[in-house]
Amino acid sequence: MIKACIFDLDGVVVYTDQYHYQAWKKLANHMGYDLTPFENLMLKGLSRRDSLDTLLEMKGIRACENEKLMLSELKNKWYRRLLKDIDMSAVAKGAEDLIHDLRSAGMKTALASSSKNAGIVVKKLRLEGLFDVIVDGNMVSASKPDPEIFVKCAGMLKVDPNKCIVFEDAQSGIDAAKSAGMHTVAICEETSLKGADISVKTISNVSSNEIIKFNSNNQN
């Protein structure tokens, strides 16, 4: 029986995935390259450094450690600039209601984001009250697809991994959750994510009843 729901932030609870994309695209343009939405899928869910390494490798760009530091700072500056204007309209439609309903049904909830900026977003949009536990990119050493972030959430919630369900919009996140031994809901608009137990287009397509039904169908 599922006891905890763990949510990714960017692209699941808030639409900030678009801002990450804009900032990475601007960085690619700055280096004389483009970054298509399809190419951006490879970056989703990864830490800032892993995303940069993936981008550089994808474009065949060589950079030394200092250049990499400068490039990731530049991307972060542009991303933070975009965050300045966010308001409640950045919260994914249906996310708050779903999380409230799950909590009312007795589920524990956690936020698991690779982003070191997750705290800023959560505070600005006053989302703290939705989660029993928040784990962000400052609290883990390995980023998704490593399972560390989800294992950490389960430990802090004191819930067995096989009683957790993870909501993710990135393949790296689905892979990380699966490696942690958890169930998964993929939120994916255009492309499909491999290996997820449930797939929906947006979080507004998930009802708490579906998750509760999933519980009774998957007694462990």
Residues that bind ligand G6P in the complex, under the rule CB under 6 A: 10, 17, 20, 43-48, 51, 76, 113-117, 137, 170
- The nearer residue to ligand G6P, 2 or 122, going by C-beta atoms, is 122
Question: What would you measure as the largest C-alpha separation in the chain, in angstroms?
Answer: 53
Identity of the residue, 2 or 111, whose beta carbon is nearer to ligand G6P in the bound complex? 111
Residue located via tokens 């929906």: 200
Closer to ligand G6P by Cβ: residue 117 or 215: 117
**Which residue of the chain is nearest Mg ion when measured via CB?**
11
Kindly report the CA angle at 53 between 41 and 10, in degrees rounded to 5? 40
Minimum Å distance from CB 160 to Mg ion? 24
Q: Is 115 marked within a binding site?
A: yes
Residue 2's closest CA among 192, 201, 185, 130? 185
Contact predicate 10/16, CB 8 Å: yes
Measured distance CA(186)–CA(177) in Å, rounded: 11
Annotation says 146 is catalytic? no
CB of 117 to ligand G6P, least distance (A): 4
- Residue 175 contact, options ligand G6P, Mg ion, none, Cβ 5-8 Å cut-off depending on partner type: none
The entry of ligand G6P, Mg ion, none near residue 108 (CB within 5 to 8 angstroms by kind) is: none
Q: Which does 109 bind (CB under 5 to 8 A by kind): ligand G6P, Mg ion, none?
A: none
The answer to the question of whether 11 is labelled as a binding residue is no
Residue 9 in marked binding region: yes
Give the nearest distance from C-beta 125 to ligand G6P in angstroms.
Answer: 15
- Tell me: is residue 77 an annotated ligand-binding position: no
- Give 212's contacts (C-beta < 8 A, 6+ positions apart): 105
Burial 173-191 (b: 16+ CB within 10 A, else e): bbbbbbbbebbbbbbbeee
Q: What angle, rounded to 10 degrees, do the helices at 48-59 and 65-83 form?
A: 120
Please say if 8 is a catalytic residue.
Answer: yes
Of 47 and 184, the one with the shorter C-beta distance to ligand G6P is 47
Catalytic residue annotation: 8, 10
